[in-house]
Amino acid sequence: MPKNTNIKTCLIGFGNVGQGLYLKTVTKNSHLRSIQTNDNFDLVAVVDPYIKNIGINMPEVRFAKTIEEVQNLYVDLAVIACPTSTHLETCSQLVKHLNPSAILIEKPVGLTLMECKEIMKCLQEIPTVVINYQRNYNQNILQQVADTISFGYSKGVVYYSNGAINNASHGLALIISVLGSPTNVFKLSSATKERPSDMNLDFVVEFGETRISFIATQENDYSMFRIELFGPKGSWLYDAGLERSEMKSRVEDPIYVGRFSLTQNSTITSIPETESFTHVYNYLEKRIRGDSDIEPTSGASLDLAYEVHQVIEKAQK
């Protein structure tokens, strides 16, 4: 695709993540804002069955209730930001009526492992399909996780809320992209239903000698997730909401013999844009144009999303 041609984009789903209705302020944590602020993309269509309720003025954009209504438009990229329960049917309609060269799907792709597999089958002829695990496109956070683990930090905890498929999947996608496929998965506690299609549960994922525990918390405690890794020199903590990492050194415990504690002082490193979709769209632009300078460790593929589903299904047994 020529570099002087903008990427024609169709946004499917114009609610929480599509338009940013769940956000307190206007940020790049929505697909609409991310597309509008990136000079390489042109939003040409928005599809939402409740289009009459939107009440937004964008005369250059065609609004429609169904994908079939915009089938005469040329579209390079389709962004699926509608409810997860509709993803499979949406993918089927996209292939039938628009057949874009690239598709970005909101995580977690499907509600179940089987649904994810059906979506993979449906989209097998689409050249580029990626998933919106946004931190997997941010080289700064990927490098920090990789470096920390390479220093011998072989134990960790991921605190998450609002469902294993919905939110623990963020941490899983990030860690699997760094460590590779898990060697073992097992449940620590009984599951509690977060929503009809998702559960909160405590489970462990092992990557050889590295063991990561996933601990479910109440939604009013943590709205997303945080990762803490422990090693011979101390701890490394990443809090998604703060967009920063924190390193603490290990020191001898002042009370107990042969025990250690962490220093009160810490080294804080800012990791900007870990919550926004900025890096996702920068990555997509390069993929669609066929650029060769994409970081090989960046991105979140359908295969990665399927592996995340596999891990969570094993943890639920």
Give strand pairing partners of 212.
156, 205
Of residues 274 and 80, the one with the higher pLDDT is 80
At residue 169, does pLDDT exceed 80? Answer: yes
Query: What local confidence, expressed as pLDDT, does residue 283 receive?
Result: 95
Out of 26-35, 168-177, 218-227, least confident range: 218-227
Question: What is the per-residue pLDDT for 81?
Answer: 96
- Rounded alpha-carbon distances, angstroms, from residue 77 to 32, 159, 236: 13, 34, 37
Identify the pLDDT of residue 77: 98
168: exposed, middle or buried (Cβ count in 10 Å: 0-12, 13-18, 19+): buried
Delimiting residues of CATH 3.30.360.10 domain(s) in the chain: 138-273+306-316
The chain-wide mean pLDDT, for the chain, equals 89
Residue bearing tokens 């977060």: 194
pLDDT at 191 over 70: no
Contact present, 281 and 298 (Cβ < 8 Å): no
| Contact indicator for 94, 78 with CB cutoff of 8 Å | yes
7-135+278-301 in CATH: which number?
Answer: 3.40.50.720
- The pLDDT score that the predictor gives to residue 65 is 94
How would residue 55 be classed by pLDDT, with cut points 50, 70 and 90?
low
**Which pLDDT value is given to residue 52?**
64
Measuring CA to CA, how many Å separate 162 from each of 170, 191, 222, 278? Answer: 12, 12, 9, 24
Per residue in 32-51, pLDDT (tens digit) is 999 999 999 999 999 999 87
Contact 101, 10 (CB under 8 A): no
pLDDT in the model for residue 23: 52
Chain centroid, CA 137 distance in Å: 9
Strands (E), 121-266: 128-131, 155-160, 184-187, 192-195, 198-200, 203-207, 210-216, 225-231, 234-239, 244-252, 260-262
User: Is 138-273+306-316 CATH 3.30.360.10?
Assistant: yes
Q: How confident is the model at residue 218 (pLDDT cuts 50, 70, 90)?
A: confident
Contact between 236 and 228 under an 8 Å Cβ cutoff? The reply is: yes
Is the pLDDT at 25 greater than 70, yes or no? no
Are 156 and 228 a contacting pair, CB within 8 Å? yes
Residues in the chain: 317
Q: Which of 173, 248, 163, 232 is closest to 205 using CA atoms? A: 173
Q: Taking 90 as the threshold, does the pLDDT of residue 275 lie above it? A: no
**Per-residue confidence band for 83, with pLDDT thresholds at 50, 70 and 90:** very high
Please tell me what DSSP assigns to residue 164.
I
Diameter over CA atoms, the chain: 74
CA distance 106 to 111: 12
Ranges in the chain annotated CATH 3.40.50.720:
7-135+278-301
Asked if 118 and 88 count as a contact pair (C-beta separation under 8 A), the reply is: yes
Q: Which amino acid is at 263?
A: T
Mean pLDDT of 211-236: 84
